[in-house]
Structure 1
Amino acid sequence: MASAVSSDIEVLEKARKSVAADYVPREDEPYMSEQQVNFFRKLLLEWKRSILDASSATLQSLQDGPIREPDLNDRASSEADWGIELRTRDRQRKLIAKIDAALRRIDAGEYGYCEVTGDPIGIRRLIARPVATMTVEAQEAHERREKISRDD
């Protein structure tokens, strides 16, 4: 499962590098200026494109044919690998929905601001997690409430 998370991080990092060739937002600029908004729009679109490319490669591999390993152990190993791959693609499908929501927030002029407090989320947090919807403090409070309700 660690490979799925590292894969997500690698895909985001690749998208970040391709977009950051021209411009990288800085903390000392006006928050959510047109240039910053355009950077995040390009980053989100590139991230989504990368995920969709990887998904189509997985789909193509699935269409190439079933697993036909003669050895039962090899077959079990291959099936386990496919299971992990499919779970990764499911996670990425959910991530695409978050990317689309972030793009809608950009169009609505709400991107970069906490959905709970209305405060700026911060450039560094948005670069690290472009689909973030809350400030670090609001996210921590949300997670604490979630933990308490799970414990009940």
Structure 2
Amino acid sequence: MAKLTEQDIINWSGDDYMNADHLEFFKERLLNMQQELLSNASATASHLQEQEATPDPADRATLEEEYALELRTRDRERKLLQKIQSTLRLIEDGSYGYCEDTGEPIGLKRLLARPTASLSVEAQERRERMKRQYAD
């Protein structure tokens, strides 16, 4: 069978949720995301090593702010990379696509929007409400 496309996922209406084709589609998407993040990290490392010190304090401050922003971005990406790797393990063990709180299907459209989602929309909203209650 031909590889599924995003449109195939959006239009899917069968009973075979998270079949082998679905798993292969999401695995490929996650591996592509992972590769992009690793490439970004390499580019950042090279970029930071190339920069020369500048004697002008204003230029130096601007460079330092750019570095700080870039490093914060890479830190977020590092966390996402960990999430991608744990999600790939879920695909391997057969539990991908199911809510970690309820065991219910997360849904193909939600996974298409956020392939690393581990909660159904309802479970995510419930957790966010609980956080707000305890934060107030």
How does the TM-score come out when normalised to structure 1? 0.81
Structure 1 residue 92 and structure 2 residue 74: aligned?
no
Runs of 4 or more, structure 1, over 2 Å off, are 21-24
Q: Is the 8 A contact 2:4 2:22 kept in 1?
A: no
Q: Which residue of 2 aligns with 1:134?
A: 119
Distance in 2 between the 1:88 and 1:115 partners? Answer: 27
Identical amino acids, percent of aligned pairs: 45
Given the alignment, which residue of 45, 55, 58 partners 1:59? 45
* Structure 2 gap ranges (5+): none
Q: C-alpha displacement at 1:64, in angstroms?
A: 2.1
Q: Which residue of 1 aligns with 2:108?
A: 123
Q: C-alpha displacement at 1:33, in angstroms?
A: 1.1
Higher relative contact order (CA 8 A, sep 6+): 2
Structure 1 residue 113 and structure 2 residue 95: aligned?
no
Q: Which has the larger radius of gyration?
A: 2
Q: Across the two proteins, how many residue pairs are aligned to each other? A: 130
Distance in 2 between the 1:141 and 1:57 partners? Answer: 39
**RMSD between aligned alpha carbons?**
1.4
Q: Which residue of 2 aligns with 1:6?
A: none
Distance in 2 between the 1:22 and 1:132 partners? Answer: 20
Alignment of 1:17-96 (within 5 A): 23-24=5-6, 25=9, 26-29=11-14, 30-65=16-51, 67-96=52-81
